[in-house]
Every structure is written in C-alpha cells, then in structure tokens.
Structure 1
Amino acid sequence: MKRQALIMAMLLLFFLSSSRGRCSIFSEDDIERELKMLNKPYVISFKDNYGVVFDCVDIYKQPAFDHPLLKDHKLQITPSSGSSAGLTATGERCPNGTVPIRRTLKEDLVRGRAPSPVYKQMKDTGTINGLHSVRAVVGVYPLAVPAGAASVSQIRVVDERPINPTVVQSGWNVDPNLEGDGQSRFVVYWTADDYQHTGCANLLCPGFVVMNQAIAPGMALPMGTTVSIAIQKDASGNWLVFLNKEVVGYFPGPIVNNMDGGTQIQMGGTVFSPPLVSKSPPMGSGVPPAPGPYNGAAKFTWVSFHGSKTFTCKMYKDIANSSIYNWMVTSTSPDGPEGVALQYGGPGGA
C-alpha cells in the first residue's frame, strides 16, 4: 500500500502525499524528438559540482518558446546577469544573451515527466480572491531519500477556478526519479488544468522562461543554508519567480490561463514513498517540530503575501504520530524575530 500523510494550511500549507503519477512509455522515436525539442543549440556548456550539464542557450531560443501559446511571445522583463557566486556556487555563468538550460538526457525522459501528485496542491473549498505575491525564507537541507521516493518543500499560488484550476509553484526538492540524483535542487512547476495534461517540473516541457545568466531550475542549492523564494505577478500578468531576491524567470500569462490572482497560497512539505516500501522518507530537515528552544526542524520564516486585505489560515494533519511528521506555528506577527514563521517536517518512518 502507498503511504499517505497530510498537513494543510490555507494560506499556509503542509502537504504530504503518497501517490505518484508517471507518464506512459515513450517509443525511441518519441524520445529522440523530445530530446531535440528540449536540448537547443548552445554557445558553451558546463557541469555543476555534481556532474549535471547546463547549456548556455540563446535567450530567445530557449525551450519555453516552443509552447504554441508563446509563438509570438516577447520577453517581458529585463534579463539578469545573476549573482556573483555563479550557478550552483561553481562560479560559472552564461555569456550575455544566453541563459543556462539544464540538459535533458534520455534517462530523464525514461524516468518519466508526467505531472506527479508529489508536487500537487492540496484541495480546499475556501478561497480568497486577489492574492498576487508570496515570499518566504526557506531552509534547505540534505536528506537521505531512496530511489523512487521524494521529499519536496515548496510554495504554491493557486487559482481554484471552477474550470481549469491553475497553479504556479517553486521550492526545493530531493527527488532521485525527477532529478537523477539525491541533491537538494531548485524546482519550479506549473499547471493550467489541475495537473491533468498541462505543465511540468522545471523545463521538461515548454513554458517557464529563464531570464538569469547564473540561476536556473534544476540547479543544486547549498544544503544547510536558507534561501528566499518569492512568486509575484507583474503588471503584464506574468508570474515571476525569485531566488534570493533575484529574478530567475517567469511563467508567462498565456500558459497559465492569464491567471489574474490566486485564491490560495499554500506552502509546506510533500513526501512520497513507493508501494511496498516500509518507511516514508524524511521531510524538511528530518527533525520534527517541538515546543521550546529551536531544535533544528525545517522552517518557513518571514512569510508575507500581498493582494488581499483579508486572509484565513487553516492547518490540517492526518497522521497521528507527531514524531514522524508535524508542524508548528512559531510566530504570527510580522514583527517577530523571524516574522511570520512556522516549522514543519520530520524523519518519516513506518
């Protein structure tokens, strides 16, 4: 039996899911066509510290523009030169006019790229119209996640419309099936039809536009540190993603139903363990929250959102053993030492 646990809040969400979808099997011809579409001609390429290849692709010829809705799309924001540290702290960055695109390998497609419930939003009937930005500081941790399992910490902006619910999201994951290794990596995701047929993680399908010469989806993040992640709608209706206050890129309005604003903001952790595996993987830092002095549990701090004058906060949990996974609000005041803050996660287990 697949494992399942759930912790939910609205506007703050902790969500653990056990079911995971995988795509149908590709033929060899399908795989070759897909690889040609995703892997564009590049100026230079380099590897990160873990052997993953990034190609520096002409910013106007990146995979996003293969999306049929972006055929005549013009870049909506000014490209960024990126942080001085370079991609994945290697010091590498792409030349002007190019952006780093993680190279897709045959095995990446074979492992599957169908929308996976491990990245899905949690369903809730409550909605608050008009939310258009969210930001939080998130801890990034090394986790021992076995092949086939996954652990994700992410922020989602959800437009829970009656037809084609739309979601844009970003965070970090340890997902050997998706990423091909056990590193903590930066991830973006989108869907325009409730994860049915549209959208994907990172750049495994056309959609997300990369605008930074040194930061890209799929890059490894320094473990044991914190990063600032933000999602914000701009005046043109695009949804920008920021990492450490630098723009990474954006979800163009046309691919996300021209989403005018979110009805929910959800954040927290998601885990998956495959059938017949006796233990669920760790979430967050692998340490469960507990009262008293901070004990090393994963945190979302300095949480803020804008666009609505009112909000409702809900939290749900459907696992009785708080030593496996748990959550705890540590501050509801923006004037606290870490602003609005909460802890989540745990070691997993039976």
Structure 2
Amino acid sequence: MVTHRDDKHWMMDSSLPLVQWFVCIQILLIVGSTVQAGREFQQQASQQRRLQPYTDNTNDVPQHSPPVKSFLVSDGSWIDCIPIEGQIAAHHQTLQEHNIQMGPSTQARRSRHAPGTSQLHPQLFAREHGSCPQGSIPVQRIDPDRPSLKKSRIPTVSTSIAGPGAAPGETHEYAVTGLPQSAHSYSGAYAFFSVNGPVLEAPQQDFSLSQVWIIDGHWNDGTLSTIEVGWQTYPLLHPNDKPLAPHLFIFWTNNAYNYSGCYNLECPGFVQYDSKWVIGGAMPYYTTLGENRKRELEVEIEVLYDPTQLSWWLYVNNDPVGYWPASIFDGRLRGSANLVQWGGEIVFFKRGNGISHSKTGMGSGAFPVGGYPVAAYQRNISFADASGDYYDAKPSVLKQQRILNDPHCYNITIQQGNFRNWGTYFFFGGSGGNNSGCAGKE
C-alpha cells in the first residue's frame, strides 16, 4: 500500500508484496501519461485554426482580411500580413469549414534533398523584415485596377492557341520535358531551378518562365487540372517592379483553364502556412547574360501529396509554404496525377508587322549549349510515384517526352552525371528571334 505522510511525501510500505507494488507503479504511470496526453490535446486544440471568410459588405468579391501589419520592401512592393484564418482561401466553397494544416504530416516521405548554393533567403521581404507576425501570412499587395490574369494551356507542340482565356494572337512556345502520361502514377515532383532574368521584347505583354507542371484530367472533357510552380518574368502581373525581376509564382486550375484557378493568392484555393515566403514575390538575385556571373543562383521547389491531409504541399528551399487541398480540384488530383513536366515557356503576341519571331528570351536568353553558368537549368529532377517513393527521372525517358516548337528559337538538352550532385538535369532556353535561325514568319 502507499502511505501518506504529513509532509506529503510518500514511500513504499515494506510489508506490501513486490508484485502489488509493481502494479501500483504501472497504474500511476498510466494515470500520469493520460493526464499529459489530455494536456497536449488541449494545447493542440487551442492552436488549431479554421479558415474564416472575410467580407466588407460592399461587394461579393472574395478578398483577404485586413492586414495586421504592412511592410514596404526596397523593390517598391508592399507586403500585407494577413491573419492566417482570413486568407482568401476561406472563400472557396469546399473550404468553408476547413481547419488549417499547420504543417505537413509526411516529412518522412519527402525526397532526399541535394546540396544547394543559396546562402541568403532569395526574397527581399524575408531578408529585410524577417517574417510576418505569428499567426499571419505575407501577401503581396496588388493594384486593384490591374486586370485578373490567367494562364491558358499546358505545353503542346502547337504554337498558337484559341482555347479558353486566350487573347487574339497569343502564342506560346516551349522547351519542356516530362514523364510519360500514365493514370494514377505520380504524387510528387522536385528540382533545383536556376533563377534567371530573361529580356522581354514587349514587356507590356510578353512573359517568360521556368516551372514544373503536375497534371491530371483531360482537355477533351474539360477536367484538366494542374498545379504549377516556378519563377516567371511577367511585367503585366507585376507592373511596379524596380527593377524588372523574376517572381516566385504558383498557379492552379480544375477545368482546363476555363475560368477556374488563378495566379498566386489572387483567388480562393491555395492555403498558405508559412510566414516569410511571399507567393508572387520577386526573386532579386538572379543571373542574366549581361551580368555573366561565375555562378547561378537557385531555388529548390517540391510539390508532394500528403495522403493523411489529402493535400498537395508546396516546399520552397525545404520550407513547407502551404498546400492545395485536393477538394478544390473537383475529383481530380486526389492522391495522384497522370503527368509531370518540367521546363520553360514564353508567351508573346503576333504583331502582324512582318518580323520573323519574337525576341523574348527564355531562361537566361542563352541556348543550352552555353552550359553552366550561362544557360538556365533545372537539376536533380525527380518524382514520387503513387505510393510516395522518390526516383530520379531517367534521361532516356525525358528525351522521349520533349516538347519543342523550334530548336532554333528555344531548345532543351537533357543530361546526367557530368556535374557532382546534380543527378538528372537539363539546360534550356534561347534567344528567340535574336538568333538568325529562328525565322518562322508570322
């Protein structure tokens, strides 16, 4: 038995059999662990946050809650720190009662990360201000008069488009590779991206990017769904750049780009968790041909499905930034995708003035033959299968899946083994109409 003393200490009664004493100890341990578990549950519950749609009662347009704090960044942009519960994702019809995931649940399933070259955070906001206050996320302020911009297609060999959202004369060209299309086969994608500053011939219209596409569904029945991440130089989306710079971007659609989805945090869908990464924010450290630096600067990007949370998590430089709940994709991208692609894209508009081809650059503006550190690249290209296991993409497979409009304008070369720790990689890009061989008449 246990005897209680006046000094409130207790001791073992020597007359108690050893077996009974052992049972008493076990009971005390169980009671103690139960109390501790209850405290931990209460603590977790107090930290749980639920999305709460904000309205100012003046219109029905989805919007973020008012900021708790705002920062002016030295590139001229304003960053508003929005309460995490009041981010625009709260307005999505499938997220009305959504409990925010305060981190992924599948760290053990993640890829084995390759060495990077970045020393400082690549975004000015984090370097100058650290992060938003606890419980809030950074959102880049946009001009309310700027039109909403959407993407309009996945990579194909066709150069001109007339699909949903396409403007007259809108032309897309690609230097892209990927994995074979296969139903329910992929649950993640990973790569290091060089961050470059291509020159645009018509900054008021053109854009140039490097990205990864995770794709499910089909064009012909309108179910095409995508998750897209990378960097882009797109002045129309970021008209106040000082100077012109590439920006981290995300995009999604669930019905073949037909009036669903959006860039960055401009519509309900993506749920941000991180307090220092600015989706849509500038990446000011980058390499251009003119600078001819001795090394290129990089950003590490990964998208991975979390089967516990039913969400696609975005990691940037190994930080879990936020996620796309599978519920926003209307039955697609639920656990897996049927296609993964990596590469570059440019968009320009036919001007009808007889010029040979747009001179907008892709990547750094150099062709792949320029190699490191001149040409743009993606390295350590790998993917997760449907069970979440990671594999290096095989060059022989990627070469069979290349999408090129005209290699004299923009090209891609896929390689392996020539650089230590690079795994499978490719150089890509080109100078478009600045190359005499790129002479496709409009």
Common topology (TM > 0.5): yes
- Letter in structure 1 aligned against 2:141: R
- 2:298 equivalent to 1:226: yes
Instruction: Give the corresponding residue for 1:248.
Output: 321
| Contact 1:39-1:103 within 8 A present in 2 as well | no
Q: Which residue of 1 aligns with 2:151?
A: 116
Determine the structure 2 residue equivalent to 1:91: 129
For residue 236 of structure 2, give the secondary structure of its aligned residue in structure 1.
helix
Equivalent of 2:428 in 339, 344, 348: 344
SS of the residue corresponding to residue 85 of structure 2 reads helix
- Secondary structure in 2 aligned to 1:302? strand
Counterpart of 2:151 in structure 1: which amino acid?
A: S
Q: Distance in 1 between matches of 2:407 and 2:141?
A: 42
Match of 2:210 among 153, 159, 167: 153
Matched, 1:42 2:127: no
The superposition leaves residues 5-36 of structure 1 with CA deviations (integer Å, 9 ceiling, x where unpaired) of: xxxxxxxxxxxxxxxxxxxxxxxxxxx847x6
* Counterpart residue type for residue 102 of structure 2: I
Q: How far apart, in 1, do the equivalents of 2:310 and 2:64 lie? A: 28
1:330, CA displacement in angstroms? 2.0
| Selected match of 1:269 from 340, 344, 353 | 344
Which structure 1 residue ranges, 4+ long, deviate > 6 Å from structure 2? none
Structure 1 range deviating more: 125-134 or 84-93 = 84-93
Letter in 2 for 1:299: Y
Q: Which residue of 1 aligns with 2:410?
A: 325
Q: Over aligned residues, Cα RMSD in angstroms?
A: 2.7
Between structure 1 and structure 2, the one with the greater Rg is: 2
CA distance in 1, matches of 2:269, 2:372: 40
Tell me how many residue pairs correspond in the alignment.
306
CA distance in 1, matches of 2:310, 2:418: 28
**Structure 1 residue 194: Cα displacement:** 1.2
Q: For the residues of structure 2 that align with 1:294 and 1:172, how far apart are their CA atoms?
A: 19
Q: State the identity %.
A: 25
For residues 213-267 of structure 1, give each alpha carbon's deviation from its aligned partner in whole angstroms, at most 9, with x where no partner exists.
1002111112231000111111222111111010111111111235221111111
What runs of 5+ residues in structure 1 fail to find an aligned partner? 1-31
Which residue does the alignment assign to 1:133? Answer: 188
Runs (5+) with no aligned partner, structure 2: 1-57, 105-118, 158-179, 288-296, 434-438
| Residue type at the aligned position of 1:121 | I
Q: Secondary structure at the match of 2:406?
A: coil
Inter-partner Cα distance in structure 2 for 1:320 and 1:155: 20
2:101–2:273 CA contact under 8 A, matched in 1 = no
Separation in structure 2 between the aligned mates of residue 274 and residue 98 of structure 1, nearest angstrom = 39
Give SS of 1:87's match: helix
Instruction: Give the Cα–Cα distance (whole angstroms) in 2 for the partners of residues 43 and 290 of structure 1.
Output: 49
Q: Is the 2:212–2:341 contact (alpha carbons within 8 Å) kept by the matching residues of 1? A: yes
- How far apart are the structure 2 equivalents of 1:69 and 1:57? 21
**Cα deviation per residue 1:62-94 (whole Å; 9 max; x = unaligned)?**
111111111111112339xxx984735323410
1:109-141 superposed Cα distances (whole Å, 9 cap, x missing partner): 3xx32x223xx3225993353200111000001
* Native 8 Å contact 1:289 1:346 kept in 2: yes
Aligned to 1:169: 228
Counterparts of 2:139 and 2:102, CA distance in 1: 18
User: Could you say what secondary structure the match of 1:290 adopts?
Assistant: helix
Matched ranges for 1:11-26 at <5 A: none
Q: Which amino acid aligns with 2:230?
A: G
Hey, what's the Cα distance between the residues in 1 that align with 2:318 and 2:421?
A: 20
How far apart, in 1, do the equivalents of 2:318 and 2:102 lie?
15
Correspondence for 1:188: 250
Return closer, same or farther for 1:249/1:230 CA change in 2, 3 Å cut-off: same
SS at match of 2:226: strand
Kindly indicate whether residue 363 of structure 2 is the aligned counterpart of residue 284 of structure 1: yes
The letter of the residue matching 1:218 is: G
Report the CA distance shift for 1:135/1:320 in structure 2 as closer, same or farther (over 3 A): closer
Q: In structure 2, what is the Cα distance between the partners aligned to 1:99 and 1:243?
A: 15
Compared CA separation, residues 320 and 257, structure 1 to 2 (3 A) = same
Q: Distance in 1 between matches of 2:418 and 2:263?
A: 32
Relative to structure 1, the CA distance from residue 33 to residue 175 in structure 2 (aligned partners, 3 Å threshold; closer, same or farther) is farther
- 2:420 and 2:383 mapped to 1: Cα distance? 16
Residue 70 of structure 1 is matched in structure 2 by 95
**Larger displacement relative to structure 2 (159-168 or 258-267):** 159-168
Amino acid at match of 1:175: Y
Q: 1:207 to 1:168 in 2, by over 3 A?
A: same
Measured at CA, do residues 84 and 76 of structure 1 come closer, stay the same or move farther in structure 2, by a change above 3 Å? farther
Question: 1:4: which partner in 2?
Answer: none
- 58-67 vs 311-320, which moves further: 311-320
